[in-house]
Structure 1
Amino acid sequence: MPSLERVGMVAGEASGDLLAAALLAAMRARWPQVRAQGVGGHAMQAQGFEAWSDSEALAVRGYVEVLPKLIPLLRLRKRLGDRWLAQRPDVFVGVDAPDFNFDLERRLRQAGVPTVHFVSPSFWAWRPEKVLKLREAADHVLCLFPFEPALLAEHGVAATYVGHPLASVIPQQVDRPAAKQALGLQPDVPVVALLPGSRAAEIEHLADRFVQAARLVQAEHGRPVQFVMPAVPSQHARLAALLAAQGAQDQVRLLHGQSHAALAACDVTLIASGTATLEAALFGCPMVIAYAMPALSHWLMRRKQLMPWVGLPNILCQQAVVPELLQDQATPQALARAVLQWLHSPAEVAALRQRLARLHTELAQDTPTLACDAIANVVAARSGA
């Protein structure tokens, strides 16, 4: 098997940073001399990653929202490509962020650099044209979900199912009383975790609604409820100001990061659609999924949506196991009602946790080893060619 010396990587946002960090740890264990460079966040840097730019630069979603950042992103992608073509890595691994990574991967691949894309785009859910760009960009795809390699093969894309690394990191049995104690929460009082997302646009459109919904839940539940809100470092000050403006700083406890701690401790989570919903599912959390964006972006995205759900738990279970409230449906009143429904329905909570436990088992694989094997095979095949 080849020995890797230099790896180029670009990971987008907090979720990509975590995925890439787990992969980097496995790569360093197999190839201790490996040097990884590119775009990454705090978790990757903790694994010795040399960040030329922070993954937060790629934290943008939608059509309208990306326009102000488009020129800086294009310049960043050009600089990265130039640098890697001058100092060629043994392999390039793009982690998620397809709108940024695909063009970069295609450019490097055409120049003879082996390319691996970690996380198949959800072409089976929306934007089916993505698979055509993926076929041009990547020599190989590392898939998080078991049904994806067969679908990609139909389009001529080589792929390996590696499982979802979070399914191995998150314990299958969660000790909620201990998790509450670790956060200094009362063990016999329900906990609702508010996760409005990590992007600035998500915070703008959801955080205020979530806080208003929390106040309604507290008023209507009839008994005390504890609220926690994890915040990524870049959004902590903004969320603190929002809580203060609503007079909710004493009602909602703002955490420095600690999203997994919050999900382990909570009885229900009110959560933005995205990777965090899968994390919540792996923690066995009853959840209410919400999302909102500018009307034009929503209209454009809905035109390309192929499935009746947007939340990963519903997509993976192929049924509406948790409620989704999107755009105008995501009013504070509707969000509060959905949260209260979980708090008042212990039998439904128990049934959901059984279904999510089965999903957890399906996704738990030796992801780092499988991913490293696939990367090594790609490098070996390119070297042999």
Structure 2
Amino acid sequence: MSPRVAMVAGEPSGDLLAARVMRGIADLAPQGRCEGIGGPAMAEQGLDTWHPMHALTVFGYVDALKRLPGLLRTYGDVKRRWLQDRPDVFVGIDAPDFNLRLELQLRQAGIPTVHFVGPSIWAWRYERIHKIRAAVSHMLVLFPFEEAIYQKEGVPVTYVGHPLAQVIPMRPDREGVRAKLALGAGERVLALMPGSRASEIKLLAPRFLQAAGLLLKQDPSLRILVPMVNAQRRAEFEVWLRQYPVANLTVLDQALSPSRPAAWDALEAADAVLVASGTATLEAALFKRPMVISYVLSSAMRRIMAWKSGQSRPLVPWVGLPNVLLNDFAVPELLQEDATPEKLAEATWKALSDTAYARRTAERFEAMHQTLLRDTPGLAARAILREAGHEV
């Protein structure tokens, strides 16, 4: 039997995750076919692309409202096609607002559904578990603590590990990357990562740059690396850089390193990281770097989030993934009013200069890395193919 797998990924991170899973499916079922919505990484693995991934990619609630008519057309098209010509299994990769709705419709029609990357119900809107239970035949989760949540709620689940733990080395090559970037082996280096969204650049870049200026007063030879995900974010960042100029600062352009994230060069070369909350914090932890996590939301966005979630704060005391995974404030979090240049600089200086602290943090992150290291493509592919009725 040649399994037919329907898939939907709506963001670049989901495209990369799905592409790895598609490789796992191809290893176990070489005649299998994948179709649906995805990006370039999935296309390279042979996805029959019905709609491009950017049809679903939105940034925040305002953008989602503007693009609602197109999202509804895309949703209606794939739902109709899959209900008329049923796949063996549907796999939704992240994008929960789109995928959970689609999964509910398909599952009610008798099509098995797999959701990869559990929504962060452990932090926001735990009541979504009821929708997940109705919509999803099998959950694939990235973090070990999530497995117990879904087991308790009666949702079939497999912990597959985090694919970043497979591709980021257990022992980073700081000297090799520094040579590539023309940095001295003994130089003190800070990775400055104010985010990949326009709103993050607007709210965090001026604070981060002012903090960097304060750090340069402590160490005038400090080198600062700022990776940018694309030309648009770089242009937005450089507007703030002209307002708050910083010496010894180098912007790393993603276009110059298409086969590897520019952020990884910065993280591997750095002694410490000042970073916006998000996936980049997990990447920094896997590179074993001490960090300071920060985030700022506009007052309007805070009101929207509180309205949509019914919460004024997360259900856990941390926002950074490394702290959530370690169940502790392993690294500082400076959020909202606490994200002042002075506080950011003070916490970052400790990360840069306290070698004993950096060593202890690296040891904790190495243990965390080991817990996340699994055969993610193989585990995910086996669970998907079992739901499709394909023996593996």
Q: TM-score, normalised by structure 1?
A: 0.89
Looking at structure 2, the residues matched to 139 and 362 of structure 1 have their Cα atoms a distance apart, in angstroms, of 25
Distance 1:215 1:41, change over 3 A: farther
- Give the equivalent residue in structure 1 for 2:158: 160
Map residues 227-376 of structure 1 onto 2, 5 A cutoff. 227-233=224-230, 235-239=232-236, 241-242=238-239, 245-246=242-243, 247=245, 251-256=249-254, 257-299=261-303, 300=306, 302-303=311-312, 305-376=314-385
Distance 1:111 1:183, change over 3 A: farther
Looking at structure 1, the residues matched to 389 and 59 of structure 2 have their Cα atoms a distance apart, in angstroms, of 35
Unmatched 5+ stretches in structure 2: 255-260
Looking at structure 2, the residues matched to 223 and 241 of structure 1 have their Cα atoms a distance apart, in angstroms, of 21
Map residues 1-385 of structure 1 onto 2, 5 A cutoff. 3-4=2-3, 6-60=4-58, 62-63=60-61, 66-218=64-216, 220-233=217-230, 235-239=232-236, 241-242=238-239, 245-246=242-243, 247=245, 251-256=249-254, 257-299=261-303, 300=306, 302-303=311-312, 305-380=314-389
- What SS does the aligned partner of 2:126 have? coil
Displacement of 1:138 after TM fit? 1.0
Deviations 1:177-236 (A, max 9, x none): 112222332222122222222233333332333333323322x22231222222223644
Looking at structure 1, the residues matched to 39 and 247 of structure 2 have their Cα atoms a distance apart, in angstroms, of 28
Q: Would the aligned equivalents of 1:271 and 1:290 in 2 still touch at CA under 8 Å? A: yes
Distance 1:309 1:134, change over 3 A: same
Looking at structure 1, the residues matched to 84 and 197 of structure 2 have their Cα atoms a distance apart, in angstroms, of 33
Distance 1:152 1:33, change over 3 A: same
Looking at structure 1, the residues matched to 231 and 10 of structure 2 have their Cα atoms a distance apart, in angstroms, of 15
- What SS does the aligned partner of 2:153 have? coil
Unmatched 5+ stretches in structure 1: none
Looking at structure 2, the residues matched to 135 and 234 of structure 1 have their Cα atoms a distance apart, in angstroms, of 41
Looking at structure 2, the residues matched to 16 and 191 of structure 1 have their Cα atoms a distance apart, in angstroms, of 31
Distance 1:244 1:67, change over 3 A: same
- What SS does the aligned partner of 1:360 have? helix
Displacement of 1:265 after TM fit? 1.5
Distance 1:193 1:254, change over 3 A: same
Displacement of 1:342 after TM fit? 0.7
Q: What one-letter code is carried by the residue in structure 1 that aligns with 2:2?
A: S
Q: TM-score, normalised by structure 2?
A: 0.88
Deviations 1:52-89 (A, max 9, x none): 44444544455456433344333332233223334433
Looking at structure 1, the residues matched to 137 and 240 of structure 2 have their Cα atoms a distance apart, in angstroms, of 47
Displacement of 1:308 after TM fit? 0.7
Looking at structure 2, the residues matched to 49 and 216 of structure 1 have their Cα atoms a distance apart, in angstroms, of 49
Looking at structure 2, the residues matched to 31 and 172 of structure 1 have their Cα atoms a distance apart, in angstroms, of 30
Looking at structure 2, the residues matched to 249 and 59 of structure 1 have their Cα atoms a distance apart, in angstroms, of 35
Looking at structure 1, the residues matched to 46 and 206 of structure 2 have their Cα atoms a distance apart, in angstroms, of 37
Displacement of 1:250 after TM fit? 6.7
- What SS does the aligned partner of 2:67 have? helix
Distance 1:83 1:203, change over 3 A: farther
- What SS does the aligned partner of 1:9 have? strand
- What SS does the aligned partner of 2:274 have? strand
Moved more, 78-87 or 116-125: 78-87
Distance 1:118 1:342, change over 3 A: same
Looking at structure 2, the residues matched to 30 and 102 of structure 1 have their Cα atoms a distance apart, in angstroms, of 27
**Residue identity (%):** 47
Looking at structure 2, the residues matched to 106 and 80 of structure 1 have their Cα atoms a distance apart, in angstroms, of 13
Displacement of 1:91 after TM fit? 1.8
Q: Would the aligned equivalents of 2:227 and 2:253 in 1 still touch at CA under 8 Å? A: yes
Q: What one-letter code is carried by the residue in structure 2 that aligns with 1:17?
A: D
Q: What one-letter code is carried by the residue in structure 2 that aligns with 1:259?
A: A
Aligned-residue CA RMSD (Å): 2.5
Distance 1:205 1:58, change over 3 A: farther
- Give the equivalent residue in structure 1 for 2:258: none
Q: What one-letter code is carried by the residue in structure 1 that aligns with 2:283?
A: E
Displacement of 1:340 after TM fit? 1.2
Distance 1:307 1:140, change over 3 A: same
Distance 1:195 1:174, change over 3 A: same
Q: Would the aligned equivalents of 1:115 and 1:139 in 2 still touch at CA under 8 Å? A: yes
Looking at structure 1, the residues matched to 66 and 237 of structure 2 have their Cα atoms a distance apart, in angstroms, of 25
Q: What one-letter code is carried by the residue in structure 2 that aligns with 1:3?
A: S
